Structure 1
């Protein structure tokens, strides 16, 4: 009897570790998120649609296809308009688009989302 009980408890613990994946994709579609910690006076944001995202990268608008599986996100080569702006905003924009291209994980937070890149950079967004 003891063995059966231990087997059942172990099985339940094992199943709990591999429970249902959080459905991040369905919770972010149709929402706009604003990147925190940007240069004063600039705004960087992202809006998620079904398989596509778009937004303002500081100076230019950008767009890309994306895929989410659980908390793993892949953003495919973001493209953007090609307007020029102040040098510091252009540097911020280039860094942001580079980080989006390296996106690896996405997590829902109380305020919005956090996207983490392959190099460990965290992009912290608040819901607009």
Structure 2
């Protein structure tokens, strides 16, 4: 009985994390910095346009990233949404070298306060909400993906939710 108790307590201590995590410096600032344009949203198992399919020809949503020279692993962002300009920052807190995914902490997103047509205001609110709630970032094939990625490789309808940007 005593050996069984020891075994039950020791097994969790011996488990090994299956992914390789290294310092946040593993992401290349040159790959991340620059001007990006929002192309799509990935919504679990479907792709949506920046302002939904019902909004034809909305203004382009831009997203510019630059490394903060004062704080290590911190990046500033700014851009133009459908109506207002916005700004903020995020910090890379961890990087998984196997999946090439950075964990991020997004700070407060600030913006100008101009009003516009309801459909564009709704589009902008959705963008700000996605951006504010983002937890992960990945640079892949000329795209910057920001949001939450799936945690399992088993096919499911939950493929994550994230913004898809292309380099401008």
Assess same fold via TM > 0.5.
yes
Name the counterpart of 2:119.
88
Q: What do the CA deviations read for 1:36-87 (whole angstroms, capped 9, x no partner)?
A: 1224231111111113110011100000121113211221110100111111
Residue 67 to residue 83, structure 1, CA distance change in 2 (3 Å): same
Name the counterpart of 2:27.
23
Poorly superposed stretches of 4+, deviation over 6 Å = none
Q: More helix by proportion, 1 or 2?
A: 1
Alignment of 1:1-128 (within 5 A): 17-18=19-20, 20=22, 22-29=26-33, 31-36=34-39, 37-39=49-51, 40-50=57-67, 51-69=75-93, 70=95, 71-117=102-148, 120-128=160-168
Instruction: Return the structure number with greater relative CO, CA threshold 8 A, min gap 6.
Output: 2
TM-score by length of 2: 0.60
What secondary structure is seen at the aligned counterpart in 2 of 1:38?
A: coil
Q: Any gaps of 5 or more consecutive residues in structure 2?
A: 1-15, 40-48, 52-56, 68-74, 96-101, 150-157
- The CA deviation at 1:123 is 0.3
CA RMSD of aligned residues (A): 2.4
Q: Any gaps of 5 or more consecutive residues in structure 1?
A: 1-13
TM-score by length of 1: 0.76
Residue 18 to residue 88, structure 1, CA distance change in 2 (3 Å): same
Distance in 1, Cα, partners of 2:148 & 2:62? 17
